[in-house]
Amino acid sequence: MIAESTTLPRDDRIRWAAMAGIIATVTVFALAQGLTYPLLSFILERHGVTAGLIGLSAAMTPLGFIVSAPFIPALARRVGGARLAVLCSILAALTLIMIALTQEVWIWMPLRFLLGFFANPLYVISETWLISIAPAPRRGRIMGLYSSVVSGGFAIGPLSLGLVGTEGWPPFTIGIAAFLLCGLVVLTVVPRLPKMPHEGEAISVGGFFALAPLLLFAVFAAAAFEQVVISLFAVYGAALDSAEPRIASLITCFTAGNAVLQIVLGRVAEQLGSTRTMIFCVLASLAGCLVLSSIFNSWLVWPLVFVWGGVSFGIYTTSLIQLGERFTGQSLIAGNAAFAFVWGVGGMVGSPATGLAMQLIGHQGLPFSLGLLCLVLAVSLMAERRLA
């Protein structure tokens, strides 16, 4: 009876508890992934692997996202969202153990593919859960909070490398433990998790592309931006004679900007609209690309990278907000799966393309590639807004 006297109705308390469990689950998973990308890049860099091959290796994880995405809606309905999330957590941990046992770039490629294949369902399921139960008037703040804490998980990953180093089993042990903890969190909150939405006409991932092509291109850009920075910033910094600990700290600063600024951007999206906020994020990301090289060796790089990380990931946050505004039911599941598919394409194309650009024109290939992508997206968004 005491529990019933709270100011929140029971349904509201269950909703907020479910949202907290969803966010906690995917945050732990993000921690493990945030550690994996720079860790493997550092190891490959020490082994003398070229930037292009490092980028190709990093692209295997988003390739796993791409391949798994079309199967997720049907798997979630058949197996159940919670069961699928727990299974993926266990399989991801086993895959990371296999990666730690080998030190060969060609063996790592299929293993990194499996890591993406097992990680993707968790993100699709968690985002579908969260969007489906988030109150519309607070969707911006809730999705901003989601993006912030997930980005916080990514930030803690690289930061842990500064504490335990990049050699031997310690960094891998952190990632393995995080994957397993993710499954444990899901098991803990299972009674409060919502079911996958089933209303509306079934739609395929491919069919969703015709409904929101520019929205998916924004996801592509956000994915390419983040994957490139996380996987190739070590190579970029090494070309400018920056030490490994400093580069790892800059990557952490980048992801910390993601974490801190998403709630603010979500609130701004509620006030100004998600489209205007997205355009702001794209233009600010472009500005960061233009000035990065000139201030990399000064103290100004720290606030730049912090804001750069926040606004670049803000493109994805505002895309999620628009997805919730425009779609419901099975279209929402298909949209989340399409987001995951395009996120995988962005990561897979972005890293090797930027790595190749860096081989052809030097380290400036990184900000040049990202800046060009932001420019195309900005022009497309403003053109659509003018025609609307």
The answer to whether the beta carbons of residues 221 and 282 sit under 8 Å apart is: yes
Give domain status of residue 1, yes or no. no
Distance CA 8, CA 40 (A): 46
Average pLDDT over residues 202-210: 81
The answer to whether the beta carbons of residues 375 and 209 sit under 8 Å apart is: no
pLDDT 10s digits, 85-136:
889 889 989 999 998 888 777 888 999 999 989 988 888 888 887 887 777 7
Give domain status of residue 113, yes or no. yes
Q: What is the CA radius of gyration of the chain?
A: 20
Give domain status of residue 335, yes or no. yes
The DSSP letter of residue 299 is T
How many domains are there within the chain?
A: 1
Give domain status of residue 2, yes or no. no
Average pLDDT over residues 141-147: 85
The answer to whether the beta carbons of residues 202 and 48 sit under 8 Å apart is: no
Give domain status of residue 54, yes or no. yes
Give domain status of residue 164, yes or no. yes
Read off the tokens for 236. 């970029």
Cα 335–chain centre separation = 16
Regarding predicted confidence, which is higher, 248 or 388?
A: 248
The answer to whether the beta carbons of residues 175 and 96 sit under 8 Å apart is: yes
CA torsion angle for 330, 332, 338, 340 (degrees, to 10)?
A: -120
Average pLDDT over residues 288-300: 87
The DSSP letter of residue 203 is -
Nearest in space to 115 (alpha carbons), one of 75, 70, 62: 62
Distance CA 37, CA 377 (A): 26
Regarding predicted confidence, which is higher, 139 or 312?
A: 312
Give domain status of residue 184, yes or no. yes
Distance CA 158, CA 34 (A): 6
For residue 104, give its domain range.
7-195+203-387
Q: Identify the CATH number of the domain in which residue 20 sits.
A: 1.20.1250.20
Give domain status of residue 285, yes or no. yes
pLDDT 10s digits, 209-219:
888 899 999 99
pLDDT at 198: 62
